[in-house]
A and B are shown apart, each in its own frame.
Chain A
Amino acid sequence: MQLEARNLSFRYGKGPLIINNLNLELKSGEILGLSGPSGCGKTTLAKILSGYELPQGGSVKIDGKSIPSKGFNPVQLIFQHPEKAVNPRWQMKKTLNEGWSPDNELLDSLGIEKAWLKRWPNELSGGELQRFCVAKALSPKTRFLIADEITTMLDAITQAQIWNVVLNKARENNIGVLVVSHDQHLINRLCDRVFIGK
């Protein structure tokens, strides 16, 4: 399988073109890095690839077929700020099980403690919340994973732990991963290939 972006162009409203005629492929099982200066449009590209924004020009397809807008999206995005990605009025248990029910093994490997499930989002740290978001996105139905600076606010040990889980799961389910980061070391360590934005 292959996720293909063809001749993408995008602008917010009547603003300047942020993405101009961009082409990108991501194969199943591949770990692709995406880096570039702040404000160059990495997050915007991530949102277009995962169906959160519609490009004004070009298309995003899987094996030449367009992605259905209803039902579970095989291209899942994990956001940079987990605080905004969870409903503040839901207990963590409900958030965790919204898309699928992650097994205990996955929760353990991500270091999610049983006691956290009964808590509210404002009772967890950003790093702890992000583990829930990662678990949610690693559904068996996920074919491609877009990770937008998902470990930027974490310490080195937690960062390594989370990427370990993501890479293992990607290998196991043959998921293609796009690692968006401005951390050159992280990208060099994780990725088979790097895509540099301008």
Chain B
Amino acid sequence: MKIIFKIWRQDSPAEEGMLKTYEVDDLTEDMSILEALDHLNELLVLRDEKVIAFEYDCREGICGQCGIFINGRAHGPHDQITTCQLHLRSFNDGDTVVIEPWRAASFPVLKDLIVDRSAFDRIIESGAYISSKTGSAPEANAILIAKEVSDTAMDAAACIGCGACVATCKNSSAALFTSAKINHLNSLPQGESEAHKRVIEMTSQMEAEGFGSCTFTGACEVECPESISIVNIAEMNARIIKAKIFG
């Protein structure tokens, strides 16, 4: 199988980048897109050219490292998967595949397809923790939590911080990510004592990082590999109001 890749090449944050074309033969449709990039990099090494920098870790859809923009969609043409879960069978022999890094002022390009997502880390540091004693494991039934509550918290906790929501959003809003992190902790009794502080600190940090504001286009929940619902953002807004009144 043959694919014509058009891939964003950029040496450093300061330099201008551009799309470069690579025709790659001898691919099979069972390869993941990351494996195809590995294959291309091997060819580049043999040709004594610089390899393409891209991120990954688990290659099984759980770490959130592999985010890239493929053929006009975050993580490629399918809804709700990661890049490493995308295979060449989603394309046809001879197709052109355009690969770009996430685009957002708050995610500057470091090199080729790698962007700096530390803005997410700083949002987490600003409030996505609980300050309770972590010694040995507590008795499992010491705090009883209703099934629906734990389901809500676990659904939100599924966010892997891939950044697809920011990448796909026309406003580069980080509202889906931030709301998932807030609702995860704020819906559980363990997170309650810092609930108001958390929502204000984390949303303020989100703004300070330069992400845009949410206008509910809904693109994020379609591209999110963890199917985090946009309703989380509405819930975050309700929590901001509560924090302003009672916090």
Instruction: Answer yes or no: do A and B interact.
Output: no
Chain B residues proximal to chain A, CB less than 8 Å: none
Chain A residues proximal to chain B, CB less than 8 Å: none
